[in-house]
Amino acid sequence: MQGRDTSQRKIIPPRGGLLHIVDAAGYSLAGLRRLWQETATKLEILGMALAAVAFLLRGADVWHWLVAAGLFALVLAVEALNTALEVLTDRISPEWSAMARDAKDLGSLAVGLMLMVTGGFVLAVTAGMV
């Protein structure tokens, strides 16, 4: 609805108590739906599934599973932050700029570092090093 005047929109104050928690859960689910649109997220989920199979075949200890679950959760959290950064950067700077490129590259670096740490742990477990 381009051209629609939003200056008369009514601001709805946040709800309190348990309703605030319900609203927050809804926002998180909306974020998850948005994150699922990213190809990188689908590949990361595939990586999680492959790691789970490798852990099953290796007979990984409970602590291996717990650490891997935490690392994969961090990968998705950093991916979500990177996606948010990219969306905001595209909104603020739709034209090409070195600063926008740098912002996106730094977000990508953060995801890449998390993937290296997570992948290194999975490899260490499957190789019997930990």
Specify the CATH number for the domain of residue 103: 1.10.287.3610
In a domain, 23, yes or no: no
In a domain, 102, yes or no: yes
In a domain, 22, yes or no: no
- 41 known member of a binding site: yes
Q: Which of 71, 75, 76, 79 is catalytic?
A: 79
In a domain, 77, yes or no: yes
Q: Per-residue pLDDT for 87 more than 50?
A: yes
In a domain, 78, yes or no: yes
pTM (2 decimals)? 0.86
CA-closest candidate to residue 79, choices 113, 53, 123, 52: 113
95 catalytic per annotation: no
Quote the DSSP letter at residue 12.
Answer: P
In a domain, 14, yes or no: no
- 44 known member of a binding site: yes
In a domain, 30, yes or no: no
Residue 76 sits in which domain range?
39-126
Q: Per-residue pLDDT for 3 more than 60?
A: no
Q: How many structural domains are present in the chain?
A: 1
Give the tens place of pLDDT for each residue, 30-63.
Answer: 999 999 999 999 999 999 999 999 999 999 999 9
- 27 known member of a binding site: yes
Q: Per-residue pLDDT for 71 more than 50?
A: yes
- Give the pLDDT mean for 101-113: 98
In a domain, 7, yes or no: no
